[in-house]
Amino acid sequence: MPAIRNQIRELRAQREITQQELADQVGVTRQTVIAIEQDKYSPSLETAFKVAIVLGVPLEQCFQYDPQGKR
């Protein structure tokens, strides 16, 4: 399991936001959103906050840190 996991896909689906729409609002590429959702890329703190703001949830509801996870 990765050290940083996220619920972006689920939150995005609930709000009916596409990957491209989220990417545009956060200011990243759609490929970066895909990589984050697949837990292959851990975003910077700034991007993580922006994602949480766009999805309208606190940061910890969007991203979770697992100390036992693989970095």
C-beta of 23 vs 55, nearer to other proteins: 23
51 binds other proteins (CB under 8 A): no
Whole-number minimum distance, CB 66 to other proteins, in Å? 19
- Judged by CB under 8 A, the stretch of 10-18, 21-29, 59-67 that binds other proteins is 21-29
Please, which of residues 31-50 interact with other proteins by CB under 8 A?
31-32, 34-35, 38, 40-41, 43-44, 47
Contacts of range 35-41, beta carbons closer than 8 Å, 24 or more positions apart:
36/6, 36/8, 37/6, 37/8, 37/9, 39/2, 39/4, 39/5, 39/6
Per the CB < 8 A criterion, the answer to whether 5 and 70 are in contact is no
In a 3-state reduction of DSSP, which class is residue 5? strand
Whole-number minimum distance, CB 26 to other proteins, in Å? 9
